[in-house]
Structure 1
Amino acid sequence: MHRFGYAQRPRYAALGLAAAFAVLALAGCSNSGTPAAASGGAGKTAAVKRHYGRIVFDPCTLSSAYAAGTIAAQCATFKVPENHAAPNGRTIDLHIAWLPPTDESAVDDDPVFFLAGGPGQAATESWPLVDGAFREVRKHRSIVLVDQRGTGRSTPLTCRDAAGDSDGSQSEQAMLDHSVAAVERCAKSLKVDARYFTTTDAIADLDLVRTAIGAAKIDLVGVSYGTRVAQQYAGRYPQHTRAVVLDGVAPNELVLGSEHARNLDSALAAQFKLCQQTPACRARFGGEPREQLRRLMARLQAAPVEVDYRDPSTGEQLREKVTSGHVAMLTRMFSYAPEAASLLPLMLNEADQGRYAPLMSLSKMLGNQLSEELNYGMQLSVTCAEDADLFVADPADADTVLGDAMTKVLQAQCKVWPTGQRPKDFHAPFASPLPVLLLSGELDPVTPPRYGEQVLKHLPNGRHLILRGQGHGALRIGCTPKLLGQFIETANAKQLDARCLDALGYVPPFVSFNGWEP
């Protein structure tokens, strides 16, 4: 799903569950205090409180360093039981943002709940990057953003100390011991019971919010890990679910983290094939970037190299060892989006020629963004309860970019993390007559199209759209926003005219920093 939460030897620095389900650019959210439009639109101001059902909201704004402008919203805090089996016990606060319809002259009763990825991202922080994809949906429907417990402002479980970097000087066992100790310290410092921060607890929260706002049924749009949340909610509360969108599908049956290494290598093979098929790329790089990557990582695994680079956050000149883990981090995260993946042959060639500074700066930038936006403690609460005991070693991981470090380290960390329980049928396939629209990118390195096909088998009213040449996350691509709006309006995936997606193509590989050749 490196530097997120587990010890790394050089080969594995900056690799982990968080990165597998993160988007390449992550959003930030601010409750700026600037008066927001009462209708959710920009321009008008209102300081009055608004009610949605029995929840009272105050004006707020959502913003992101990676998205232009701000989004007017209504924000509230909603108390839920920490342990749903003890409803009269200790409570925790959920942070909720509500975006009323932009045209309130004709409002549909069923709101849309947006479910963020991760595990560890917050819905309110991710929303600014996807808001444009919902322009049709927002006309007549409310959008409800619930920061899942453990993320955003909903009692976040950050555990930043558990996500330390390695300079490559420690042994693998020493780094593992350091990581486990950091996780144990974080667990002991918590003022809440991390056993109750699982997906099952989260869907119970969502239904309490649904009840409080007075919605008989809701629509669910889940991305990446959010597709697990959506399937679990729709399976547990089908009577309260109208329609479901799954973007970057993670099947219920999937053990999160168990196939990341192989999925990435499969995606890289397809992405690097574009270089082999492009004469300029083949002439410049020899047409074998995967072998170049393999040699580069082996060389850095054996001997990390001191490199001078510019800190992407401060502009300060720094000196540090570049390791095979930095290469793996950049390779993985760039593979999420085709525009970034098109740079990989060039970046790997630069590093192979001994010019490591650009790679180091970009790796640090991505690592800093991810560690700030993803709550590693929440990831552990989800993974330890739902997946870690099901990890099975696979020899096929040995020769991959990521290797088998992630599952080994997560298993070690879960031994010291407060671990909850999953329902016995948690990993049963999502089988439902509900209308479901599934979206996959052809070159997705995390949730490949075969996952969508697997889930579709149990959905008689489902439809799976595969976007040619695309990576992880489809909501904003091409005409997908139009199709999303039509599906939410009609709740009929089979009737969608998706021929507009045929216009999507492949991003050619860069052969120089001036861009790709025409």
Structure 2
Amino acid sequence: MHRFLFSISLILAALSTHGYAAETSSLLQPCDKKKFKTIVDYEDRALCGKLSVPEAEGINDRMIDLNVVMLPATTRVVVEDPLVLLAGGPGQAAVSLGAGWAQRFENLRKNRNILLVDQRGTGQSNSLSCELELAPTLDDIGVSGSIEDVIAAQVNALKQCLEGLDADPQHYHSLAAAEDLERVRQQLALPAMNLFGISYGTRMALVYTRLYPDSVRSLLLDAVAPTDMIIPLRVGTDADLAFQQIMAECEAQESCRKAFPDLPTLLRDAESRLAERKSLNLIHPLTGEREAVTLDPRIINRLLRGAMYSRDLRQLIPLALSEAAAGRWQTLVAIGDLISPDYEDDATMSIGMMASVLCSEDMTRVSNDVQGIYFNNALTELLDAVCPIWPSTPVTEDYFQPVKTAHPTLLMSGTLDPITPPNYAEAALSHLSGAKHLVVAGGAHGVSHLGCLPELIDTFLETLAVQDLDVSCVEEILPKPFFLGYAGPFSPQKETTAHD
């Protein structure tokens, strides 16, 4: 039960008029439904292939296979430049996310092919997910013992995984992944591409653009994490800001203010009450079965931070805190199950790849934790334990310089984002002379699918005239009201008055 606890501690702790033809490259062939069921169920014309690339050219002789998928355009008139999804994490696999992502952006597929490449170390590109070694912790460590016990178990599992890996993890960083993507582009004889990065994928887009500027037509950057942002450093303080926004919004809404007048006290009371309990008897929100679990009180901190990633789940936070402070935990546990990732097939977050990237890059610049008032730094806490045992090679100092480019770029941020708030995109904007930054007041982590943004993205890709976009519609995407009870966000008294 409750695999979310494990995942939170890890993670918290995108052609010519005849279209792309498969015969232009022996790399891509019709996808095998047994191996790519989700993709083929979504698009039965999808093309799949593997490209063998050096793991570390000039350093070792190992070759690794990159998993490549092309989703063809849905109309017969197809432009040459594809749209490339660069997944987040770090550790997510683009191919496993591809079908769900493409469904949200069907308008972008009308005349443009979608290229999906599992970044090295993820999905079916020589994965470093270590899922077999970590699997025993999913149902045990995740629901019992302290956070320290969880981290120790994960570190031991990663040590075991290292012994059996057919890989040298120190070569699975962003620079190597950018070189891989360029090899794919060259193999498929593609022109300059449109890069669509989400979260960590925005960094990949910027790194690739710096290395291969002639291979880029445009950039779409959603939830921006530029190279000069040290991802683990301000996990706690950025979450604090997002929680303070919830406090301010609730205070500004009369019904919320009356129902939940002191959210910080509710948080502290919930943590204290959980610390006093030795176990909880909970109903699993999916199976309906009762189970006894022992939880570290700090898990509340992780759950709330995870919920703030979603503009829908954050609606439940005041209610969940109020219930937990009164000893009723089911709402909080249900939130945890809702934010739990899917661990089936290749959708598993590659924890080894995450470690390879962050230990080689960001963690080389983290000298101490920056803790928040309400939220501690869960990611640094985990990486402080993992990086000493995980092989990594520090990137050079110039890697962290801001990427400067004149490529047409559309940056998108959610005001409510607890991990990549708008200030990071704003800092990147000063070095992007052909860019525009859209800030969505009602958006959290990832906003490109909200409201009118898919249509704005479509217009941008067609014209590249980013400064001419009419973005007034973005102002209509506002925060959702908070739930006051299980019936929803509306006051029962107001509902009665309205009916009268």
TM range (shorter): 0.7 to 0.9
For residues 352 and 71 of structure 2, what CA distance do their matches in structure 1 show? Answer: 29
Report the Cα offset of residue 17 of structure 1.
5.6
For residues 317 and 308 of structure 2, what CA distance do their matches in structure 1 show? Answer: 8
Report the Cα offset of residue 316 of structure 1.
3.2
Alignment of 1:124 with 2:117, yes or no, is: no
For residues 458 and 360 of structure 1, what CA distance do their matches in structure 2 show? Answer: 43
For residues 183 and 333 of structure 1, what CA distance do their matches in structure 2 show? Answer: 23
Report the Cα offset of residue 127 of structure 1.
2.1
For residues 370 and 387 of structure 1, what CA distance do their matches in structure 2 show? Answer: 26
For residues 472 and 63 of structure 1, what CA distance do their matches in structure 2 show? Answer: 28
What does residue 274 of structure 1 align with? 249
Alignment of 1:256 with 2:231, yes or no, is: yes
What does residue 461 of structure 2 align with? 488
**TM-score scaled by length of structure 1:** 0.85
Cα distance change of structure 1 residues 3 and 56 upon mapping to structure 2, 3 Å threshold: closer
Aligned residues: 477
**Which deviates more, 428-437 or 488-497?**
488-497
What does residue 498 of structure 2 align with? none
Task: Describe how 1:170-319 pairs up with structure 2 within 5 A.
Answer: 172=148, 176-286=151-261, 288-300=262-274, 302-312=275-285, 314-319=287-292
**Which deviates more, 178-187 or 382-391?**
178-187
Counterpart of 2:358 in structure 1: which amino acid?
T
For residues 286 and 176 of structure 2, what CA distance do their matches in structure 1 show? Answer: 36
- Paired residue for 1:321, among 294, 312, 317? 294
Counterpart of 2:74 in structure 1: which amino acid?
T
Question: Alignment partner of 1:232: what SS?
Answer: helix
For residues 176 and 352 of structure 1, what CA distance do their matches in structure 2 show? Answer: 27
For residues 49 and 37 of structure 2, what CA distance do their matches in structure 1 show? Answer: 19
Contact 1:309 1:361 in 2 (8 A): no
What does residue 353 of structure 1 align with? 326
Question: Structure 2, unaligned stretches of length 5 or more?
Answer: 496-500
Alignment of 1:71 with 2:35, yes or no, is: no
Counterpart of 2:75 in structure 1: which amino acid?
D
For residues 304 and 496 of structure 1, what CA distance do their matches in structure 2 show? Answer: 55
Question: Alignment partner of 1:228: what SS?
Answer: helix
Q: Deviations over 1:404-462 (max 9, x none)?
A: 34313312211111113424421110110111100001111110000110000001110
Q: Deviations over 1:123-172 (max 9, x none)?
A: 11112332244333212111100011111121211123458335554584
Report the Cα offset of residue 82 of structure 1.
3.8
Task: Describe how 1:31-50 pairs up with structure 2 within 5 A.
Answer: 50=22
Q: Deviations over 1:69-97 (max 9, x none)?
A: 73334242323334242399321111111
For residues 171 and 435 of structure 1, what CA distance do their matches in structure 2 show? Answer: 44
What does residue 34 of structure 1 align with? none
For residues 312 and 265 of structure 1, what CA distance do their matches in structure 2 show? Answer: 28
Contact 1:168 1:304 in 2 (8 A): no
- Paired residue for 1:336, among 306, 309, 330? 309
For residues 474 and 468 of structure 2, what CA distance do their matches in structure 1 show? Answer: 15
Report the Cα offset of residue 176 of structure 1.
4.7
- Paired residue for 2:442, among 466, 469, 474? 469
- Paired residue for 1:136, among 91, 98, 107? 107
Q: Deviations over 1:213-258 (max 9, x none)?
A: 1112111000001001000001100011110010000011011211
Task: Describe how 1:382-397 pairs up with structure 2 within 5 A.
Answer: 382-394=357-369, 396-397=370-371
Cα distance change of structure 1 residues 465 and 76 upon mapping to structure 2, 3 Å threshold: same
Contact 1:442 1:470 in 2 (8 A): yes
For residues 163 and 107 of structure 2, what CA distance do their matches in structure 1 show? Answer: 46
Contact 2:146 2:296 in 1 (8 A): no
Cα distance change of structure 1 residues 19 and 60 upon mapping to structure 2, 3 Å threshold: farther
Counterpart of 1:295 in structure 2: which amino acid?
D
For residues 311 and 488 of structure 1, what CA distance do their matches in structure 2 show? Answer: 45
- Paired residue for 1:97, among 35, 47, 69? 69
What does residue 502 of structure 1 align with? 475
What does residue 425 of structure 2 align with? 452
Question: Alignment partner of 1:282: what SS?
Answer: helix
For residues 52 and 350 of structure 1, what CA distance do their matches in structure 2 show? Answer: 60
Residue identity over aligned pairs, in percent, reads 31
Alignment of 1:399 with 2:373, yes or no, is: yes
Counterpart of 2:221 in structure 1: which amino acid?
L
What does residue 116 of structure 2 align with? 145
For residues 167 and 93 of structure 2, what CA distance do their matches in structure 1 show? Answer: 18
What does residue 441 of structure 1 align with? 414
For residues 330 and 52 of structure 2, what CA distance do their matches in structure 1 show? Answer: 48
Higher helix share: 2
For residues 368 and 137 of structure 1, what CA distance do their matches in structure 2 show? Answer: 26
Contact 2:282 2:330 in 1 (8 A): yes
**Which deviates more, 135-144 or 311-320?**
311-320
Task: Describe how 1:4-19 pairs up with structure 2 within 5 A.
Answer: 15-16=8-9, 18-19=11-12
For residues 477 and 306 of structure 2, what CA distance do their matches in structure 1 show? Answer: 22
Question: Structure 1, unaligned stretches of length 5 or more?
Answer: 5-11, 22-37, 41-48
